[in-house]
Amino acid sequence: MQRVTFSTNARAARPLNIATRRALKVRAATPSSAGKPAATPAKAAASTAATTETAKSNEEQCVGVFCLEYDISNEPSKTAATWKPTIKVAVSGAAGNISNHLLFMLASGEVWGKDQPIALNLLGSERSREALEGVAMELEDSLFPLLREVNIGIDPRSVFEDCDWALLIGAKPRGPGMERGDLLEQNGKIFVEQGKALNEVADKNCKVLVVGNPCNTNTLIAMANAPGLAKENFHALTRLDENRAKCQLALKSGVFYSTVTNVTIWGNHSTTQVPDFVNARINNMPATEVISDREWLENEFAPCVATRGGALIKKWGRSSAASTAVSIADAIKALVTPTEPGDWFSSAVSTDGNPYGIEEGLVFSMPLRSKGDGGWEFVEDVIIDDWLRGKIKASEDELKKERDCVMHLMGMAGGSCELGPEDTTLPGEA
Amino acid sequence: MQRVTFSTNARAARPLNIATRRALKVRAATPSSAGKPAATPAKAAASTAATTETAKSNEEQCVGVFCLEYDISNEPSKTAATWKPTIKVAVSGAAGNISNHLLFMLASGEVWGKDQPIALNLLGSERSREALEGVAMELEDSLFPLLREVNIGIDPRSVFEDCDWALLIGAKPRGPGMERGDLLEQNGKIFVEQGKALNEVADKNCKVLVVGNPCNTNTLIAMANAPGLAKENFHALTRLDENRAKCQLALKSGVFYSTVTNVTIWGNHSTTQVPDFVNARINNMPATEVISDREWLENEFAPCVATRGGALIKKWGRSSAASTAVSIADAIKALVTPTEPGDWFSSAVSTDGNPYGIEEGLVFSMPLRSKGDGGWEFVEDVIIDDWLRGKIKASEDELKKERDCVMHLMGMAGGSCELGPEDTTLPGEA
């Protein structure tokens, strides 16, 4: 049996680390073990020798064919020789519905490009461990050429190790009768743990995208608990809202959605979010000129975007996992490909240094541009009229209250939770 | 409001037909109707005037932003001007789990290429009509630049109109205590109707891929009921089995799956299927040289592939929709991109004229090559040793019996259903 070690640049930079981690890996007992390679017993033996049963169960595990190691630069394929060093992508909530769409999109090369090999590290819970194996088996059976490693685990300290991207999709759903404050508290604890884990083990340039709700404040908590990572590398997902807003503007104006540009979602990923028609452009004309119905823009457009998830559940009987996954892919692509000249995208990021007058120390969706290097910059030339200013303020006030509820989770003194009884969770989201 | 008509080549070829169909369309009442364009009432009025309520409910309906018509050649995008004429893809079982993955893969441009605009026609049932709207809404929200039209309906005669591809995913699941003969009969009726509809309204070069089980015999029935379409254009999906076989050979030999080539699934998509290790190659060497364990190849490999779906359900709690969708995408790509030199793929097609000595008049999975024009040819230089011949014969016998059960559905006299009580449905499939 042929067995070789990784020799791509990313790996070569940390050989000892990888060697240690690999030696500890336990091969998951998948049904494919009928055809297990000769190396497997040796790996399992090494693991048993090095760890106790308990430790082993918390260690990330490779799955099936992904337990083998491949030297891409030695492969016969002409294309593989020109590939970039492998990136490691950690995904939480990996056994859930959104991930079940997203992982296959990521592995296909649609997001990072057809020359970017990928390692997927899947984080689940004790309850979802078997399901994680099932997901990994489906990834095996899909034969994605760029997918070179799949590991599963339930300990973020293991699963986030060396990751270049962390896509934090998992969160506790809102239970019946649960106040938004309780939801913040319960999910906040998850993001304290995950923030600390990222701080300890992730690559120092790791980009973090939080999807689990309430995502803005979860991001704020993770960021506060990962002081070793740059704040600019944290994002909360508002891209699905942006995509929905573009579609509604297209529909209203009778044009195809690809002609709608410069749409921003401002603020919180909640019902206080502000889809910005003031700066939006349709066929390169101001949206407010194309759509003369200001009443619709001010009073119907935003609720239509915010209630879209609820309308979908009503039709479809389940939440919009596929389009959420597409929007996550879009959000990543927005950071790794240069933004089209004159256009922008929105993402909820740290307000520190923002030119819009929004209080610092929050995570707020704002208009951004990227050079395609994973970083971003604020868009300077946006119009904030009185209407927009008022709406932004309302979402800012909500996020300040959410921050006050979780200051203890951010390692800060003070703060008291004064969120009103009003439920601003987006319909269609738990 | 801007409104223009299609002027891509495919459309220009049949302007009257399209005009008629468009005039009859009813805009589905989605929640996005808050932002409905001015053209909508006119469309609805035209429909009401032209059809009765009953007729209307059987007519395919466009959804949301896809009710608008776009002249791609007039769009500002530089790339759109070089796109191919739009192709129309009909998908049955469109509200199901496999489609929920597949439709987004198709719309992304992964399958037919980034210069191939697509119209999706979604076929559901009366029961799934609302869910179809939900799927269409998620497709809207995904803003795929290449997705130019989405129509939903429950009458194949309407949904299949002018389609270039028909992906027949929907089928009745096997009920408790149902014999395979009953399953053949019940599903057979669906494929009689769909075959007739394809014959009447599909494009004469339409390619048909059947996924709904029992897919080989369903394909045979559809083919017999669509004499106006070439037999070569009908396929039953065995690509998931092929992908699983490649993965297991890779795992056993300790290499990455992309180095495993020339794998054929022979025969029926059932437990009698034959994953062919005799002709398979690993790192361009015969698989039988790389894997010396003939016992495993003969007695463990095939069951391991065939029971993979069942093992997945056990882990994952649901059937393998994502990897099935990936394999459907692979099966289409195999026909629209030239096969790599020296390699081949397998698909279940008409046995007429096959060089392997398999009885004509069946739908049987065999090794094929394609020039990438949608057509295929048999692979001539395969080794069929005694072991393989015996296994192929067993699957052939099963398919002959299945054919005998459904001859009345193929418009042929004779035939009696003598399928044994043995259940050869693949574990993990209804």
Q: What is the ipTM of this complex?
A: 0.88
**Residue A39 confidence (pLDDT) above 60:** no
**Residue A47 confidence (pLDDT) above 70:** no
Report pLDDT for A23: 34
- The percent of residues above 70 in pLDDT, for chain B, comes to 85
Report pLDDT for B19: 27
What is the Rg, in whole angstroms, of the alpha carbon atoms belonging to chain B?
A: 22
Per-residue pLDDT reduced to its tens digit, B252-274: 999 999 999 999 999 999 999 99
Listed by number, the residues of chain A in 79-118 with a beta carbon closer than 8 Å to a beta carbon of chain B are: 100-101, 104-105, 108, 110
Report pLDDT for B13: 29
Whether chain B has a CB inside 8 Å of the CB on A378: the answer is no
CA dihedral sign of residues B228, B232, B238, B239? negative
CB-based burial label for B227 (10 Å; 0-12, 13-18, 19+): exposed
A71 confidence band (pLDDT: 50, 70, 90): confident
Please give, rounded to a whole number of angstroms, the shortest distance from the CA of B61 to a CA of chain A: 16
Nearest CA in chain B to A340: B77
CB-based burial label for B341 (10 Å; 0-12, 13-18, 19+): exposed
Report pLDDT for A400: 97
A35 confidence band (pLDDT: 50, 70, 90): very low
A77 confidence band (pLDDT: 50, 70, 90): low
Asked if residues A140 and A32 have their Cβ atoms less than 8 Å apart, the reply is yes
Report pLDDT for B117: 96
CA A106 to CA A142: how far, in whole Å?
A: 12
**Residue B182 confidence (pLDDT) above 70:** yes
Torsion of Cα atoms, A338 then A341 then A344 then A345, to 10°: -40
Residue B251 is nearest to which of A64, A283, A322, comparing CB atoms?
Answer: A64
**Residue B47 confidence (pLDDT) above 90:** no
Whether chain A has a CB inside 8 Å of the CB on B337: the answer is no
Per DSSP bridges, beta strands B61-62 and B147-153 are: antiparallel
The full length of chain A comes to 430
A57 confidence band (pLDDT: 50, 70, 90): low
Asked if residues B345 and B242 have their Cβ atoms less than 8 Å apart, the reply is yes
**Residue B411 confidence (pLDDT) above 50:** yes
Domains of chain A listed by start with CATH number? 9-70+78-236 (3.40.50.720), 239-410 (3.90.110.10)
B345-382 in b/e form (b: 16+ CB < 10 A) is bbbbbbbeeeebebeebbbbbbbbbbeeebebebbeeb
What is the Rg, in whole angstroms, of the alpha carbon atoms belonging to chain A?
A: 22
Report pLDDT for B173: 84
Report pLDDT for A76: 64
DSSP-derived secondary structure letter, B65? G
**Residue B380 confidence (pLDDT) above 90:** yes
- The percent of residues above 90 in pLDDT, for chain B, comes to 74
Report pLDDT for A192: 98
Per-range mean pLDDT, top range of A15-19, A255-259, B181-185, B316-320 = A255-259
Whether chain A has a CB inside 8 Å of the CB on B143: the answer is yes
Residue A142 is nearest to which of B300, B316, B326, comparing CB atoms?
Answer: B326
Q: How far is CA A194 from the centre of its chain?
A: 13
Residues 6+ apart with CB under 8 A from A246: A257, A260, A263, B143
Residues 6+ apart with CB under 8 A from B107: B118, B120, B139, B142, B144, B146, B147
First to last CA, chain A: 48
CA B261 to CA A6: how far, in whole Å?
A: 23
Subunit contact A100:B131, Cβ cutoff 8 A:
no
Nearest CA in chain B to A142: B323
In a 3-state reduction of DSSP, which class is residue A157? helix
Report pLDDT for A15: 26
Residue A134 is nearest to which of B30, B140, B315, comparing CB atoms?
Answer: B315
Report pLDDT for B93: 97
pLDDT-wise least confident of A140-154, B34-48, B177-191, B207-221: B34-48
CA distances from B352 to B223, B263, B356, B378, B423 (A): 12, 22, 11, 11, 27
B57 confidence band (pLDDT: 50, 70, 90): low
User: What are the residues facing B350 on neighbouring strands?
Assistant: B363
**Residue A150 confidence (pLDDT) above 60:** yes
Tokens of A371: 């050079």
Listed by number, the residues of chain A in 162-201 with a beta carbon closer than 8 Å to a beta carbon of chain B are: none
pLDDT-wise least confident of A115-124, B170-179, B307-316: B170-179
Subunit contact A253:B323, Cβ cutoff 8 A:
no
Beta carbon pairs, A and B, within 8 Å: 228
**Residue A41 confidence (pLDDT) above 70:** no
Residues 6+ apart with CB under 8 A from B418: B401, B404, B405
Mean pLDDT of B73-85: 78
Whether chain A has a CB inside 8 Å of the CB on B309: the answer is no
Mean pLDDT of A5-20: 29
pLDDT-wise least confident of A60-69, B83-92, B281-290, B369-378: A60-69
**Residue A51 confidence (pLDDT) above 80:** no
Per-residue pLDDT reduced to its tens digit, B322-341: 999 999 999 999 999 999 99
**Residue A430 confidence (pLDDT) above 80:** no
**Chain A residue numbers touching B64 (CB-CB < 8 A):** 247, 251
How would DSSP label each residue in B224-250? HT-TTS-GGGEEE--HHHHHHHHHHHH
Subunit contact B247:A141, Cβ cutoff 8 A:
yes
Subunit contact A244:B70, Cβ cutoff 8 A:
no
Report pLDDT for B77: 67
pLDDT-wise least confident of A181-195, B24-38, B339-353: B24-38
Listed by number, the residues of chain A in 400-429 with a beta carbon closer than 8 Å to a beta carbon of chain B are: none
Placement of tokens 């502000």 in the chain? A274
Listed by number, the residues of chain B in 230-249 with a beta carbon closer than 8 Å to a beta carbon of chain A are: 240, 243-244, 246-249
DSSP-derived secondary structure letter, B279? S
CA A339 to CA A326: how far, in whole Å?
A: 18
**Residue A58 confidence (pLDDT) above 50:** yes
φ, ψ of residue B164 to 5 degrees: the values are -90, -25
In a 3-state reduction of DSSP, which class is residue A119? strand
Per-residue pLDDT reduced to its tens digit, B58-69: 678 999 999 987
Please give, rounded to a whole number of angstroms, the shortest distance from the CA of A65 to a CA of chain B: 5
Closest CA to A138 of A22, A29, A32: A32
CA distances from B118 to A88, B89, B323 (A): 33, 7, 22
**Residue A392 confidence (pLDDT) above 80:** yes
Tokens of B368: 């094929």
Question: Please, what is the average pLDDT of chain A?
Answer: 86
User: What are the residues facing A88 on neighbouring strands?
Assistant: A119
Nearest CA in chain A to B243: A141
pLDDT-wise least confident of A4-8, A259-263, B57-61, B262-266: A4-8
Residue A37 is nearest to which of B31, B145, B252, comparing CB atoms?
Answer: B252
In a 3-state reduction of DSSP, which class is residue B284? coil
Please give, rounded to a whole number of angstroms, the shortest distance from the CA of A44 to a CA of chain B: 16
